[in-house]
Amino acid sequence: MGKISFLNPEFFWLFLLIPIAIAWFFWKKNLLSPTLKISSIQGFKASSSLLARLKPFLFVFRLLALSSLIVAMARPRTVDMSNKTKTTKGIDIVMAVDVSGSMLAKDLKPNRMEALKRVAADFVEERPNDRIGLVVYASEAYTKIPVTSDKAIIQEAIKSIKYDTVLQDGTGIGMGLATAVNRLKDSKAKSKVIILLTDGVNNAGFIEPETASDIAKQYGIKVYTIGIGTNGMAEFPYAIAPNGQFLFQMMQVEIDEQLMKSIARKTDGKYFRATSNSKLAEIYASINKLETTEVEELKFYDYDEKFRPFVWFAGFMLLLEIGLRNTVYRSFI
């Protein structure tokens, strides 16, 4: 009964009539049968027949019929509801991630790259109705995954981000931004967004960041820039030991914040500075709130009416009561 709802539950107030009907029956039951006054009943059998004992059940049948009709009028039914969401105004997002050697610095835990991967994965989960792509860059850049709505593929691409020798080491901010713009320039989404993350200064690539930001503005692409790295000194990798492990030393953190602010301002975006794991998470949460997607939710209801069995039962009880009253219990007086 947990899945059954009632369209007209106010009819259940009619159940208050049941106690009144019972009280009326016990008050009037001696008047329902004819009486015969005699001086003595000594010559009659003392025990009554089985039919006489069952006669009060005629009234029970009528009460059952009345109760069943009340339930039927309350319209019991089951509801099968299904939801369908329709994105009315989607957003295409490309995350451009710096994968240069400096992203292995340990001012974020366990390092900048791993901290970013965790936060980016959570960000993707919070954008179920948008298409997301991933660009990685060092001195050069390439598209790791084009914009797609397949979140499983995006999550796998984020998980596989690592420092390797596929790209020459360096920080080509202009290269990363230009590659991300190229992925969004033909998008038909109502909003196009790039999240550009770096931990250094532009020192590689043949495309200037200012040129790339001008192109982004031309295509109506908003760029949110994130500078990742603590203020002051941090443990940076500076060499690789014979066993393949990185060697670290304390070095000054250097981020071209003026450039990042300029790119964000020119494209109507915003610049953030992530100096810790929690701050990085807050930044992605802020971007998630700034870029909202309008979603239309459609609900479909399938009602299965359950009142018919109660009507049939009430009719059967009434026919049984009327039939017995006019046959077995018929009175000639």
Q: Are residues 59 and 123 in the same domain?
A: no
Q: Are residues 60 and 159 in the same domain?
A: no
- What pLDDT, on a 0 to 100 scale, did the predictor assign at position 46? 54
Q: Is 86 inside a domain boundary? A: no
Q: Are residues 285 and 225 in the same domain?
A: yes
- What pLDDT, on a 0 to 100 scale, did the predictor assign at position 120? 95
Q: Looking at the 3D structure of the chain, how many domains does it have?
A: 2
- Rounded Cα distance between 97 and 138, Å, is 9
Measuring CA to CA, which residue among 112, 321, 314 is closest to residue 197? 112
Q: Are residues 110 and 233 in the same domain?
A: yes
**Which domain does 317 fall in, by range?**
4-81+303-325
Q: What residues contact residue 253 under an 8 Å CB cut-off, 6+ apart?
A: 105, 107, 199, 229, 230, 231, 232, 233, 234
Parallel, antiparallel or unpaired: strands 246-252 and 191-198:
unpaired
Would you say 98 and 111 are in contact if contact means Cβ atoms under 8 Å apart?
A: no
Q: Is 298 inside a domain boundary? A: no
CATH code assigned at 250: 3.40.50.410
Would you say 86 and 295 are in contact if contact means Cβ atoms under 8 Å apart?
A: yes
Would you say 236 and 102 are in contact if contact means Cβ atoms under 8 Å apart?
A: yes
The angle subtended at Cα 175 by Cα 94 and Cα 256, nearest 5°, is 90
Q: Phi/psi at 9 (nearest 5 deg)?
A: -65, -15
Q: Are residues 62 and 203 in the same domain?
A: no
- End-to-end, the C-alpha distance of the chain in Å comes to 47
Mean pLDDT (10-residue bins), the chain, 333 residues: 78 89 76 62 59 75 89 86 60 94 93 95 91 95 94 95 82 96 91 94 93 96 95 89 88 93 96 94 92 66 84 90 81 50
Report the predicted TM-score, pTM, of the whole model to 2 decimal places.
0.64
Would you say 63 and 18 are in contact if contact means Cβ atoms under 8 Å apart?
A: yes
Q: What's the length of the chain? A: 333
- What pLDDT, on a 0 to 100 scale, did the predictor assign at position 296? 58
Would you say 147 and 132 are in contact if contact means Cβ atoms under 8 Å apart?
A: yes
